[in-house]
Amino acid sequence: MRSSVVASLLILLLGACHAPPEQRRAVEIDPMRPVFLRPAWEEFARQAYVTPVLSLVQPAQNLDLENGPENITAGYLPDVGTLLTATGPVQYDDERGVRMQATYFVRWYFAGMTNTDYTPWQVRSAGILDKKPVPLPPATQPQTQPM
């Protein structure tokens, strides 16, 4: 009887040592919350995006920003504040004279939540993404007429 009790305790102890590890909790990252894009903010982004983009493609030769930003969005991150982001296409000649195409982004921020037209935005970041040479037009073949 005594040996069966000892054996049972031993099995329980061994089972406890090989128990599955405790499940880890996932850390939730607070996603950006969309904020209503005020017309004054959109106008600000359309006027202010050029200078940061110019600084990214120096020397800026033959710069083409097409029709300005294609996308302007606003959002809020609790640890950062209110963010205003503009993105769009850009073409330029690089330092070798190669025609390049890319996508730019410029992000401004205001430390805290804002919903006023006259927000004092500050540039937070800017960048050029997906740089690649503009494809050359297809070569045209002379057309021959059957005789």
* pLDDT digits 0-9 by tens, 40-59: 999 999 999 999 998 888 77
Please indicate, yes or no, if residue 24 is contained in any of the structural domains.
no
Cα of first residue to Cα of last residue in the chain, in angstroms, is 111
> Phi and psi dihedrals of 138, rounded to 5?
-65, 140
Q: Looking at residue 65, what is its pLDDT?
A: 87
pTM, entire model: 0.70
Please indicate, yes or no, if residue 114 is contained in any of the structural domains.
yes
Q: Does the structure show a pLDDT above 90 at 16?
A: no
What total number of domains does the chain contain?
1
Judged by DSSP in three states, 22 sits in coil
Least confident window among 32-41, 77-86, 112-121, 132-141: 132-141
Q: Looking at residue 135, what is its pLDDT?
A: 84
Beta strands in 11-98 (DSSP E): 33-34, 61-64, 71-77, 81-93
Please indicate, yes or no, if residue 16 is contained in any of the structural domains.
no
Percent of the chain with pLDDT over 90: 41
Structural domain range at position 109:
30-131
Please indicate, yes or no, if residue 126 is contained in any of the structural domains.
yes
Query: Using one digit for the tens of pLDDT, what is the confidence trace for 1-13?
Result: 565 655 565 565 5
